[in-house]
A and B are shown apart, each in its own frame.
Chain A
Amino acid sequence: MTTFLQLVVVGISTGSAYALIGIGLVLVYRTTSIINFAQGAFAVIAGLVTARLVGHVPTALAAALAVALVAVIGALMGFVALGRRGRTTPLASLIITLGLALLASAVELYVFGDVPRSYASISRHAWSLGGVLIEPQYTLIVAVTFLAAILLTALLRRTIVGHALVACADSRRASELVGLNVRALGVVSFAMAAALGALAGVLLTPVIPVTFDSDVGIAVNGFAAAAFGGLVSIRGALAGGLVLGIAENLVVGYINPQYELAIALLIMLALIGWRSRNEVVA
């Protein structure tokens, strides 16, 4: 029982990080109809940059700088991925984001090499709760994820930019008609998604070291989490991330660590199969 609970605790925390990635995907997809393959790269860049800065500046500052840098990179990537007005289809944009993700990994490989990087978690001292070890870093991941989700929801509901983003997600054409700059909002959604992805990367790197090609696995897991809510729901992505994290950790603990991703795909396929019974294909 203790082993089971231990695996669930770890699963909830890694699942939260997947949820952050998934929420970023949802945000971009709803605003722009683009599936962003570079979402995993945001986490990796942030992790690598923080690992490089730690030792020169306090970890918290390093993490904040990394998140800010990645948000800027995200805005730039969004600008490129949106392509040319009226000429670039969502399919083309998807391939562009794939190219951007590759470009990011080429730069990461050039700058940081191919050795996995990491840094110390916030505290080595773990609490024991009836035999279940709870590490502060895990608690931090969960807390930050839920805080970010709440803040994001508040931002979407209460601020002008938030209302504009929601309008854009609802109908791009209507948003254009009332004078919203849909392209600029797309770039904003990319920057926000990048910040969320970076947050996930900064939190996860002490637990799972990152290297230039970690982004593929992170992006696939984030997508599986987002698919849980049909790619359009923040709460769905949050739930998806948690389910995924717990399921994967149980597989890692009881069956075989190699099949972690297989479970992500199977859950995704099962969910999609289940959803597609109800959805009318146009």
Chain B
Amino acid sequence: MTAGALRAGGWVGLAALALYLPYTLGPSNQSLYSLMGLAVIVAVGLSLLMGFAGQVSLGQGAFYALGAYTSGILAVRHHDPLLALALAPFLTAAVAAVIGVPLLRLRGHYLAFATLALHLILLAVIFTWDTFTGGQIGLIGIPPLEVGGTQIKGHLYAATVWACAILTVLVAVNLVRSRAGRGLQLIATSEATAAAVGVNVTAYKLKLFVLSAGFAGLAGGLYTYLLQYLSPDSFPVVLSVQFVVMVAIGGIGSVYGAVVGAVAITYLQHLLQKLSLIGSLPVQAPRVASIGLYALILILVMVFMPRGLLPTLLDAARRVRPQRMKSPPLTS
């Protein structure tokens, strides 16, 4: 078997496993597993943006919320959950395009602060515009997701989320290897060189930003049907930071790394929430622990392993393993 076939086989095997796994899990683990899949969708997009456009977005949580509320509000008002879900990524991408046009034309990290501001604004809008969003109380009465008469809940929901996550990974991997991907890699190496050989740097960055927002919107749109309830408390500013942490763990620009980072951090978040069940700890303990832990991960990883935790560990493992003998050159 060639390396390519092996790789494709491994891929199909892993994908099948990811889709089969929810059928072996209990209800609470299913919802954790679904959240992992949703995080994968967002983190993959953000990793591409950070790795190839060299820009940080602190608004992925906002795009996630925007996708969620878009599909939630449309589903409540028009009773067509599937259409509502389908529109979520497009509306989110459109918003990203509008704010991305002025911001990405400039050098420097205007995008990071602007997207952070976007997150704060979105939260303010959700609170204020309560006839549509339900405000502080939350959006209730969201119908379940339904395709051709089949309700997508439980196992099927988790499998659907992971199917979307796998599609996202496929799109991302193919994008990196395509003609556009080679342009993006050149931008990542040197923007000036990319511009010199005719790569439209600004357009590429904008497209990547819009794509990453679209991914986040899709994940948010799917999230709506996990609990069929949305509340502004589910989308704190820390959520946006959490996605950056996932990318820092998995390696900036790495698609597979983003998958690992998303799964790891979602699991960590799950463990930290359990802290609140321990009665003897002070009330603030879970929040202090999660904020503090994310802070330390960001600081330590970026100071000591700027490429990301996972790539650095993999490199170290490779160095430890004894070098295989190189086959001698063919001499006739």
Contacts and interface: CB of A to CB of B under 8 A. Distances in A.
A, B co-complexed: yes
A105 B302 contact: no
B301 to A, nearest CB: 8
A109 B287 CA distance: 8
Interface stretch (A7-15, A192-200, A202-210, A219-227): A219-227
Give the size category of B's interface with A.
35 or more
Given A89-B306, A110-B284, A259-B124, A268 B291 contact: no
A281 B105 contact: yes
Interface stretch (A50-58, A67-75, A269-277): A269-277
Interface stretch (A80-88, A166-174, A235-243): A80-88
B152 interface: no
A45 to B, nearest CB: 14
B122 to A, nearest CB: 9
A35 interface: yes
Contacts of A114: 284
B110 interface: yes
Of A89, A98, A100, A224, which is in contact with the most chain B CB atoms at under 10 Å from its CB?
A98
Given A35-B112, A282-B192, A98 B124 contact: no
A281 B202 CA distance: 8
Contact of A227 (B54, B101, B110, B237): B110
A262 B302 contact: no
A113 interface: yes
Interface of A: 29, 35, 37, 80, 83-84, 87-96, 98-103, 105-107, 109-110, 113-114, 213, 216-217, 219-220, 223-224, 227, 231, 256, 258-259, 261-262, 264-265, 268-269, 272-273, 275-276, 279, 281-282
Interface of B: 50, 54, 56, 58, 99, 101-103, 105-110, 112-114, 116-118, 120-121, 124-125, 127-128, 191-192, 195, 201-202, 237-238, 241, 244, 248, 284, 287-288, 291-292, 294-299, 302-304, 306
